[in-house]
Amino acid sequence: MEEILATLDSHYGKIVEGDRLFSSKANSVEFFTTCRFIENYLQPNSRIIELGAGHGTYSLHFSLKGHSVLATDMVQENINAIQKLIEREKTGDLHCRLLDATDMSSLDDNQFDLTLCLGPIYHLRDRESRKRCYKESIRITEEGGVVAFAYINRVFGIAYMQSMGVLFGKDDYQAVQNENWNSHTFPDDFMNISHFAYPEQIEEELSEYNLSILSHIAADGPYTMFKDNMEKMSDEEFSELLSFHYHMAAIPSSRGASGHNLVICRKK
């Protein structure tokens, strides 16, 4: 765990997650889509926790909507950034805490109406770690509450890496098809600290728990492959594309053509 934490500190110390989400129209599709679908299941004045909150972009959004939000992350650099965000925005009920999403023993059972796990699954490379995250996320969520898990789609992720100039060899392709690719060194640093999942795999893993799936959506679709073209869109054209994507995102086949997907569940 210490080695993973050091690697994540190094990686996320170099980027600003909020900037990533709004660095282009294509990237912002993920944020707008995630918020839209989550808000379908939110009640007013909800108690929300975000795990792996990065620099707090989602946490700030929901706080400004009138919810009580606890933003957590296991990377100290991110917690420092969220604290600065809180001080700058002076938002009402947004707090932050250093926390490992696989061990939240400091939190009570049934404490939150909504648990957002929008980052940890990206980096929990072995199934046992993901199980601990699933169990803890469910435990701290109130019965009848909502738990949302985001993940990187393996099939599209490989195509996207190739569009960015990453070249794969025979051993790399074989490792991608292997459920446990942890021991393989890929020709891209991000892949070596990440877990890319199949949509079917995530549903199978979640089926072990007392959850019902409310929505399983394509959060950002294929649009990160066409950033340059999308930047040419007017605001009206981009708005029309978003409306189109919101419809397409809920169609199961769309998950295969999306970089990031989101599973929204209800705790039974």
Going by pLDDT thresholds of 50, 70 and 90, the confidence category of residue 18 is: low
Tokens standing for residue 58: 């989602």
CATH superfamily of 2-154+196-267: Vaccinia Virus protein VP39 (3.40.50.150)
pLDDT in tens, 243-268: 999 999 999 999 999 999 999 999 99
| Contact call for residues 5 and 198 (beta carbons, < 8 A) | no
Q: Looking at residues 175-188, what average pLDDT do you find? A: 83
Q: In Å, what is the CA distance from 24 to each residue of 20, 204, 227?
A: 8, 33, 7
Going by pLDDT thresholds of 50, 70 and 90, the confidence category of residue 2 is: very low
pLDDT in tens, 36-45: 999 999 999 9
Domain residue ranges of the chain, discontinuous segments joined by +: 2-154+196-267
Distance of alpha carbon 120 from alpha carbon 52, whole angstroms: 6
Does this model's pTM top 0.85? Answer: yes
Distance of alpha carbon 226 from alpha carbon 54, whole angstroms: 25
Average pLDDT of every residue of the chain:
91
3-state secondary structure of 63: helix
pLDDT at position 180: 62
| Contact call for residues 55 and 18 (beta carbons, < 8 A) | yes
| Contact call for residues 48 and 116 (beta carbons, < 8 A) | yes
